[in-house]
Amino acid sequence: MFSNSKRELKIKPVDPEVLTANIGTLLDLYGVEKGLDHYRSSQELTFDEFRYYLQHEVFSSLPKTLNLPVAREYEKKISEVCWFVCKKNLLTREKPIFSDDSVFKLFRIFCLLADLVQDADDSSHYIVVLQPSEAGIIAEQLVHCLGLRWDAADWEALGSSIGHFKWAAFLAVLEAKYCCDQQLHSEALLEAVAEIYDVFIEDIIKKGYLFKRGYLLPTMREYWCVLQPCALTYYKSSSQKEQCGRIAIDEYCSVEASVGDGKIQRFQLVTPERTFEFGTQDHKSRLQWLSALRQAAAVSGGADGYQRRARAGRRGAGARSEQEVREARARLQLEVRARLAAEAQAQELAELAQQDNKKLEELKNAQAELERLLQEETQAKRDEEIVRALQARVLAEEWERREELERLQEEQNKMLEEERLKRKQFEMLQAEKEAQYREAERRLKELEQEKQKLDAELKAAQNKISQTEHNAHALHVQLRDLNPVLRNGERARRAISFVPTTKSSSDTLIDLRALRH
């Protein structure tokens, strides 16, 4: 993927700056591609310089310690970025059979098992090659997933003739030799590639349906289970969209077979936290799951994935002599035969166990019937106790409500008495106010009468004054006519002009008499 060799891969080299920029964007690092110039020792950037820059400048931003799921997620994202940059060249072929997504998954498997070696012609260039034995493992898995027959001798002859497999040759062999059958449906190819992808990349040891006993409700429910070296994850269905739980698996876990009831073959997964009970529909599936769980517990340790460690183990095994390899293959064949014999014997034992289970089933049915009757009787007693407890509680609540009603009634009577007293006081106050109102009305009538009387007296006085003024004017005329007393009359007229009009008639007569004298 990082190679600069044009002759070996027969594709255009990937631009290091473009690839570095995309990886930096994935890690939230922007502008990291500008630092490549400082690591360039000549006009062209070598692969060693590019790899050193990625490890010490780009990937150094990641935490130093990553657990396996997080590291696997980072690896997946970086692989997707690299595939996005170079997929146009890697997908180029004459008669494609696999889909682009399947090619990407095969490419990830190829990169996992392949080796990075120097080019024999140019030591500054590197090529990615896959050993024939590793390529044979992938091809064998694919053939088995497609339901075909694997020919090991044919593959050994093909591997010896080709030698190291490059990516283009590896993909061409898979498509032209094992997937060119027109009877193979495209869905079958997708499922086969996805299955070997799960085995090599996701480290999935086994997956399938299992019965699991609930923690609160002791019933066996069926889940889709996926077993990895570090965990057993179970989902609602095989689509793996709704995860129901995850059980961590380590070297301290163990599995034990338990007695089944004839329909479900049970076994237990013992972890440091608790014990989980599972079941399968047949004895063979239980043996397979027991073997897979023991294998997962055995290989659960380590920071690298199971397939990486298996690949390292195969590399170490490849360093042995050819004789040791033959002996190992012979032992493997013997183990396979022994396993087949053991499975046949286990099948026979399973048939015998089924016959015994039928007899046990009748006894268990009778026992279950007795237990059911006992449970019904126990439940009836519990229901009776519950009813009595409910009746006692209802009576207690009824007494409390009655006391509450009595208390409320007393408070209501008290409030009514207070309201009655307040009403009586209000009526007395109202009567007093009415008496005061009647007294004020009587007094107002008296005042009105007095006012009318005074008005009449005032009117009479005003009439008297008018009469007096008229008489005074007539007298003045008479006095002015008297000659002897002209001066005195003149003096009297002046005096009269200064007399106030408000004087009574009697006072006016007295003044006139005084003037005459």
**φ, ψ (nearest 5 deg) of residue 260:** -90, 170
Each domain of the chain, given as residue ranges in start order, spans 6-200, 206-319, 466-516
pLDDT at 496 (0 to 100): 55
Is residue 47 within 8 A of residue 3, CB to CB? The reply is: yes
Residue 74 has pLDDT above 60, yes or no: yes
Residues 25, 28, 31: CA angle, nearest 5 degrees: 60
Helix axes 306-318, 100-113, angle to 10 degrees: 50
For residue 3, the model assigns a pLDDT of 35
Cα 246 to Cα 254: distance, rounded to the nearest angstrom: 16
How long, in residues, is the chain? 517
- Long-range contacts, stretch 4-10, CB < 8 angstroms, 24+ apart: 4/44, 4/46, 4/47, 4/124, 4/125, 4/126, 5/119, 5/122, 5/125, 5/126, 5/127, 7/121, 8/119, 8/125, 8/127, 8/166, 9/89, 9/127, 9/128, 9/166, 9/167, 9/168, 10/168
pLDDT at 515 over 60: no
What confidence score (pLDDT) does residue 507 get?
56
Spatial neighbors of 195 by CB under 8 A, at least 6 apart, are 141, 145
CA angle 327/329/330 to nearest 5° reads: 65
Average pLDDT over residues 418-434: 92
- Average of per-residue pLDDT across 223-232: 92
Task: Band the pLDDT of 4: cuts 50, 70, 90.
Answer: very low
Would you list the DSSP string of 270-333? E-SS-EEEEEESSHHHHHHHHHHHHHHHHT--SSS-HHHHHHHHHHHHHTS-HHHHHHHHHHHH
Q: Residues 460-494: pLDDT tens digits?
A: 999 999 998 888 888 888 887 775 655 665 665 66
pLDDT (0 to 100) of residue 7: 31
CB crowding 434-473: b at 16 or more within 10 Å, else e: eeeeeeeeeeeeeeeeeeeeeeeeeeeeeeebeebeeebe
Give the model's pLDDT for residue 210: 94
Q: CATH: 3.30.360.10, 3.60.70.12, 3.40.50.300, 2.30.29.30. Which one for 206-319?
A: 2.30.29.30
| Cα 478 from Cα 471, distance rounded (Å) | 11
Residue 1: pLDDT band by 50, 70, 90 thresholds?
very low
Residue 477: CA count within 13 A, CB half-sphere: 5
Q: What is the mean pLDDT of residues 52-67?
A: 81
Place of tokens 């996926």: 226
Q: What is the pTM of this model?
A: 0.56
**Above 50 in pLDDT, residue 245?**
yes
